[in-house]
Structure 1
Amino acid sequence: MAEYPYPEPVVRITDARELARDLVVIPNQGVQLVPNIGIIGGTHSVLVVETGLGPRNAETVLKFAADYAGDRKLYLTTTHFHPEHAFGAQAFTEFATYLINRAQATDLATKGTAYLDMFAGLGEPVARQLEGVKLATPDVVYDNSYDLDLGGRVVQLRATGRAHSKGDQVITIPDAEVMFTGDLVEAGQFAIFPWFPPHDTDVSGIRWITVMEQLSATAPQVVVPGHGDIGDPQLLADVRNYLQLLRDETWIRRDSAMSKETIIEEVTALMIERHPEWTGREWLEPGISCLCAEHAVDI
C-alpha cells in the first residue's frame, strides 16, 4: 500500500444526521480511512456500526453513541475487520456487546496483527491513530445471519461470503429500508481490492459481483457505503456494473494471451475514461491483478 497522503483520518461528529426515525449516520466527509458510521436505535437498545480507525476515534464514536442512547443498552458491530472499520472496538469493551459474523471474527484473529502493522506503516497520521490498539474479541459470533431486536425494531445482520474480504457482512434496517454495506460499496471511487499477494489474496472479484447482484435484488431505498456519499439503489447497480466491466475487459485481454502489464495499462486507461471523476485510482491495478488470477479459476 502507498503512503497515506490525505488529511488526518479523524471521525468528526459535527455533520451527524438522521436518515430515518432513530437512525443516525456520522458521514466520513470524504476523508480517506474514515468510514461512514451508523447509530441505530430501538426502544431498549442501540446498535453502533463501525468504530473508526483506532481507539481515539472509537472513543469519540462511543461518547456520541452513549449520549444518544441514554439508558438504552449498546451493541457494536463492524462490516469487516479492516482497521478503519474495526480497530477501535476495544473502546467499547466495557460498554457494549460486540457482535459480528464468524468469518469476520476469524479474519480479525488471523490477520488483524498483520493489518495493524501494514496500516501503521502508511505514515504518521495513520500510525498516530493506531497507537495503543488492542484487537478486541467479539462477545457474540454468528454464522450466516442474525436478527438483533433493539425493541420495536429488528436489525438484520447478514454475512455475504467472500468478496471484498472473507468476512464481509451487511446490516439492514427493514423498517427504514436502509442498508450499511461496508467496503462492498464505495461512492464516487473505484472499488477497494485488498489484493496483497502473497500476504492476503482473499478478495474475490468474481464473488463480489455475485454479492452485488444479491444486494441489488433486495432493493433498499437508502444505501450507506463504506466510504463516500449516502445513496440509493443505483449505487449498488453502479458498483455491480463497474465490477462486471472490470472483469469483462480484463478477461477479454487475458483470453488473447496479452501480458499482464499490458492488460493493467489498457484496462486502467479504459476505467479512468469511463469514470474520470472517481477517486481511488490506486485500486485499479490490484483489482485487475485479482481478476487476472481468477481467470478460468473455479471460485
Structure 2
Amino acid sequence: MSDTQIPDPVLDPAVHVAGVQEVAPDVLVIPDRGVQLVPNIGVIGGERAVLVVDTGMGTANAEQVLAFASEVAKGRRLYLTTTHFHPEHAFGAHVFGGAATYLANRAQADDLEAKGPGYLEMFRGFGSPVADRLDGDVRVPAPDEVYDGAYDLDLGGRTVRLRPTGRGHTKGDQVIEVPDAGVLFTGDLAEAGQFAIFPWFPPYDTDVSGIGWLAVMERLAAGGHRVVVPGHGEVGGPRVLADVRDYLRLLRDETWRRRDSAMGEGEIAAEVRALLIERHPEWVGREWIEKGVGCLCSEHA
C-alpha cells in the first residue's frame, strides 16, 4: 500500500494519561494533546462496570490506558469498544485480552478482519516512530462480542449506547453516546480544528463516502449533545458537529459544481483546496482536502 502514505507525525504518537479531563461525572477523556495519530480516549464509569473507548496505537500505549482504566474501575468490570478499525484507535485492543470484554459492531469487525492486516503493514511502513509503536506483538485484534445494529451497554445506573452509523469515514464507524451526561464520542467522524480525514486511497481503500459521511453528520448535529469528544482535537460542544457538517457540505457543493462544468479533477482539487484553506486558515490536516475532492468526484452523479 505504498500509495497510501500520509505525512509522518513530527512527534511520537504516545498516549499520556496525565491531564485527563472529566467532561461529566464519571466520564473521563485522555486527551490527544494535539499529537497526530493519538486519539482522544474515553473512560466511562457506572456503578458496576467501566467502558473504555479506543486504545491508542500499539502495546505500550494500550498498557497505559488499561492501567489507568483499571485504577478508575477499582474492581468494577471492564469493557472496551473502538470507534472504528484504524490503528491509532483499535490496534492496542490485544492488550485488553483477559482483562476486559471487547465489543464491536459487525461492520467494524469485518473491517478489522478484511483490512486490518493491510493497515498494520502500511503503518509499519511509515518508519519510526510509528513503526516502533507497532513493533513486537502488536496484532490485528478480534472482538470478543460482535453485534448487529445498536447495542445498549448497562454499566449499572448508566446505560451507554453504542450506535453504528453506516458508511462515512469508514464502513464500520460507530459513535458512543452517554445519554444521562449528554456526551458523544465520535471517533474520526468528527475532528476539532482539522480538515476531515478522508482515507481515500484508490485502488486499495475506497470505502470512505463523502455523501454518507455528510448524512451521518446531519443526523448527529441534530442530536442535542452537550459535550462532543472528537476523534482528534479539543473536546467541545455541538459546534464541533456543526462545523464538520458544514465543511462536508461545502466540500461537496464546491467539488460537484466544478465537476458539473467538466473541469478536471486536478484543477478542481487546486481550486477547492485554496477556497477551503481561505475559509479555515487555522485548521490542520490540509493534505486531506484533495483526498476529499477525489472521493466526492467519484460519487458525483
Q: What pairs with 1:160-199 in structure 2 (closer than 5 Å)?
A: 160-199=165-204
Q: What pairs with 1:1-299 in structure 2 (closer than 5 Å)?
A: 1-131=5-135, 132-296=137-301
Tell me if the contact between 1:101 and 1:159 (Cα under 8 Å) persists in the aligned partners. yes
Partner of 1:46, secondary structure, is strand
Structure 2 Cα separation of the partners of residues 127 and 164 of structure 1: 23
Amino acid at match of 1:33: L
Structure 2 Cα separation of the partners of residues 123 and 276 of structure 1: 29
- TM-score w.r.t. the length of structure 2 is 0.97
In the TM superposition, what is the alpha-carbon distance from 1:120 to its structure 2 partner? 1.1
Amino acid at match of 1:71: G
Amino acid at match of 2:229: V
Tell me if the contact between 2:55 and 2:61 (Cα under 8 Å) persists in the aligned partners. yes
In the TM superposition, what is the alpha-carbon distance from 1:136 to its structure 2 partner? 1.7
> Which 4+ stretches in 1 moved above 3 angstroms?
none
- For structure 2, the residue ranges without an aligned partner over 5 or more in a row are none
- For structure 1, the residue ranges without an aligned partner over 5 or more in a row are none
In the TM superposition, what is the alpha-carbon distance from 1:40 to its structure 2 partner? 0.3
Segment of structure 1 superposing worse, 5-14 or 101-110: 5-14
Partner of 1:147, secondary structure, is strand
- TM-score w.r.t. the length of structure 1 is 0.98
Tell me if the contact between 2:120 and 2:140 (Cα under 8 Å) persists in the aligned partners. no
In the TM superposition, what is the alpha-carbon distance from 1:2 to its structure 2 partner? 2.9
Percent identity over the alignment is: 65
Tell me if the contact between 1:3 and 1:121 (Cα under 8 Å) persists in the aligned partners. no
Amino acid at match of 1:83: P
Structure 1 Cα separation of the partners of residues 235 and 149 of structure 2: 26
Amino acid at match of 1:109: E
In the TM superposition, what is the alpha-carbon distance from 1:6 to its structure 2 partner? 1.5
Partner of 1:201, secondary structure, is coil
Question: How many residue pairs align between the two structures?
Answer: 296
Instruction: Deviation per CA, 1:185-228: give whole Å up to 9, x if none.
Output: 00000000000000000000000000001111111000000000
Structure 1 Cα separation of the partners of residues 276 and 127 of structure 2: 28
Tell me if the contact between 2:9 and 2:36 (Cα under 8 Å) persists in the aligned partners. no
Structure 2 Cα separation of the partners of residues 276 and 17 of structure 1: 28
Partner of 1:119, secondary structure, is helix
CA-based RMSD of the aligned residues comes to 0.7
